[in-house]
């Protein structure tokens, strides 16, 4: 209409598509409506715009929200398009909505508003995943299996100990997400382009209306910083890295027949009829690469930007959306895959002793009976070349110590230490794999997750 101020001075040229963030802004459509509402309410409360105009703008925003992002008029971005849609409904007075702000503080507020939701979603997903790991662990405190270092058989452990190792790591990932949330949850609104405003605005009030815990004070920093994206995506990348470890272990376990994935989490081959492949976990493993790419994309986009707002920032935002979507999906898949998998206990028990994995326990036993640990290590090293059974340990003792083994320790105790289940049960130090030690981890962790 004739009285609508034209704001399309730069919108018609060949770079129009290039400039536009309209598609990516779908993600912050609802946030922008919320930010507009809070800003308009504050403007009216402060007497900066008339109450009846504010009311008309709020009605228009309801209408625009109901129609959805797809119904927006053309615009360089969602902020411009919503403003145009308000003016279409209200007339020129709709243009009062943009008093005392800029798209620079507006977009920063929208991103934080939406990212809060995504971070809480991500944190909830990690809690659900931890619950899944703990539930399966509770069933497998006695499921003895091989443990590895350098991918070589190292010492026997249990499936529960392995599961709890990841539950504990993901608990830290939850903390990192919530830590990032705390700094995302601050309002830049009212910073305007970067230099504040002449109007008597109330930044605390819009922060409160939007549920932010505080405001980002300095207006130059508020409108231009994206460090909150970097730390959110870094927290997600740390989580993705943890998930990639679980995924890789499960791929290896599946290779050895130590775990049987449910069909829902496996895939087959188009040519090899016998195949059951752990493809879901392979994709989880690769998600850590996507998340690392997100961190790298942000670092390289943000590095060296001058104060204050620069349009580069528009390209930074999608790294956060892509990363959070990919990592949350991967975390869900891991929870489902672990919850539905079978642990073939006999195969695990059979494999638990391979590679003389009880050697450390035998050396510990000799050391507990007075031999210096280094000497005990030597005896068991020699035994490992002689067959890794009681006879081998006896022969090694004769050779290294010049005395029969029974001078030091009851051979029956050595026999017990050579048994993988006994070996696990004996390692009951805090955090160790003994069923009792794992049970106390389960108690504490279940309390923490439930709290």
**Active site includes 269?**
yes
Asked whether the beta carbons of 97 and 83 are under 8 A apart, the reply is yes
* Angle of helix 390-401 versus helix 373-386 axis, rounded to 10: 130
Is the CB of 96 or the CB of 103 nearer to ligand ARG? 103
C-beta of 107: minimal distance to ligand ARG in Å? 4
Cβ closest to ligand ARG, residue 221 vs residue 332: 221
Can you read off the two tokens belonging to residue 63? Answer: 């209408």
Q: How far apart are CB 163 and ligand ARG at their closest, in Å? A: 42
Beta partners for 158?
144
Q: Which is nearer to ligand ARG, 103 or 114 (CB)?
A: 103
Instruction: Please tell me which residue in 39, 234, 269, 406 is annotated as part of the active site.
Output: 269
How distant, in Å, are the alpha carbons of 38, 159, 173, 185, 435 from that of 138? 48, 10, 22, 36, 10
Query: What contacts 142, CB < 8 A, 6 or more positions away?
Result: 158, 160, 421, 435
Find the shortest distance in angstroms from Cβ 311 to ligand ARG.
Answer: 6
Rounded to 5°, the CA angle 281-284-290 comes to: 155
Is 369 marked active-site? no
Identify which of 79, 77, 161 has the alpha carbon closest to the alpha carbon of residue 431.
Answer: 161
Contact between 62 and 33 under an 8 Å Cβ cutoff? The reply is no
**CA–CA distance from 357 to each of 152, 229, 258, 388 (Å)?**
9, 45, 16, 9
**Contacts to ligand ARG by CB under 6 A:** 21, 77, 103-104, 107, 309, 311, 313-314, 317
Please give the structure tokens belonging to residue 118.
Answer: 């995504």
Q: Which one of the listed residues 1, 150, 270, 429 is annotated catalytic? A: 150
The residue among 185, 235, 234, 231 whose CA lies nearest residue 212 is: 185
Cis amide linkage into residue 128, ω under 30° from 0: no
Q: How far is the CB of 102 from ligand ARG (least distance, A)?
A: 7
Residues 333 and 442: their CA atoms lie apart, in Å, by 22
Pairing type for strands 186-187 and 214-215 reads parallel
CB nearer to ligand ARG: pick between 107 and 334: 107
313 vs 131: CA distance, rounded Å: 37
Can you tell me the distance from the alpha carbon of 188 to that of 112, in angstroms, rounded to the nearest whole number?
A: 9
Task: Give 78 or 207: the residue with its C-beta nearer to ligand ARG.
Answer: 78
Angstrom distances, CA of residue 450 to CA of 125, 171, 181, 339: 14, 12, 20, 18
* Nearest to ligand ARG of 107, 236 (CB atom): 107
In whole angstroms, how close is the CB of 108 to ligand ARG at the nearest point?
8
CB of residue 237 to ligand ARG, shortest distance in Å: 22
Q: Smaller CB distance to ligand ARG: residue 75 or 94?
A: 75
- Render 332-358 in DSSP notation, one character per residue: HHHHHHHHH-B--HHHHHHHHTTTTTT
Least distance CB 346 / ligand ARG (angstroms): 58
Catalytic amino acids?
Answer: 150, 269
């Amino acid at each position: 209409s004739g009285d609508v101020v034209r704001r399309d001075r730069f919108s018609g040229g060949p770079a129009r598509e290039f400039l536009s963030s309209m598609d990516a802004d779908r993600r912050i459509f609802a946030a922008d409506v919320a930010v507009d509402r809070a800003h308009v309410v504050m403007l009216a409360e402060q007497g900066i715009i008339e109450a009846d105009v504010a009311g008309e703008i709020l009605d228009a925003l309801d209408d625009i929200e109901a129609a959805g992002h797809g119904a927006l008029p053309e615009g360089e971005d969602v902020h411009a398009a919503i403003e145009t849609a308000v003016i279409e409904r209200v007339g020129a007075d709709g243009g009062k909505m943009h008093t005392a702000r800029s798209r620079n503080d507006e977009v920063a507020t929208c991103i934080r508003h939406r990212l809060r939701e995504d971070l809480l979603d991500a944190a909830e997903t990690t809690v659900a995943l931890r619950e899944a790991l703990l539930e399966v662990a509770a069933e497998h405190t006695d499921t003895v299996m091989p443990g590895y270092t350098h991918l070589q058989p190292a010492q026997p452990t249990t499936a529960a100990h392995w599961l709890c190792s990841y539950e504990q790591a993901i608990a830290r990932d939850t903390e990192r997400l919530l830590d990032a949330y705390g700094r995302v949850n601050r309002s830049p609104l009212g910073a305007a382009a970067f230099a504040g405003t002449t109007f008597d605005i109330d930044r605390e009030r819009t922060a409160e209306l939007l549920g932010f815990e505080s405001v980002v004070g300095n207006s130059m920093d508020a409108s231009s910083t994206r460090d909150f994206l970097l730390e959110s995506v870094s927290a997600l990348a740390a989580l993705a890295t943890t998930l990639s470890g679980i995924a890789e272990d499960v791929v290896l376990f599946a290779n050895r027949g130590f775990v049987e994935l449910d069909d829902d989490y496996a895939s087959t081959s188009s040519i090899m009829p016998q195949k059951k492949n752990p493809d879901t976990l392979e994709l989880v493993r690769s998600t850590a690469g996507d998340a690392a790419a997100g961190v790298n994309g942000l670092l390289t986009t943000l590095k060296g930007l001058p104060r204050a707002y620069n349009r580069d920032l528009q390209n930074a935002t999608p790294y956060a959306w892509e990363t959070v979507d990919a990592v949350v999906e991967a975390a869900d898949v891991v929870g489902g895959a672990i919850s539905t998998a079978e642990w073939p206990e006999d195969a695990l028990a059979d494999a638990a002793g391979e590679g003389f994995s009880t050697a450390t326990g035998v050396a510990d036993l000799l050391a507990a009976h007075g031999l210096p640990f280094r000497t005990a290590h030597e005896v068991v090293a020699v035994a490992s070349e002689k067959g890794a059974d009681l006879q081998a340990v006896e022969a090694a003792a004769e050779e290294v110590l010049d005395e029969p083994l029974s001078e030091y320790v009851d051979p029956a105790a050595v026999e017990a230490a050579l048994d993988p289940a006994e070996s696990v049960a004996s390692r009951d130090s805090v955090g160790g794999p003994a069923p009792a030690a794992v049970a106390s981890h389960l108690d504490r962790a279940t309390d923490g997750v439930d709290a």
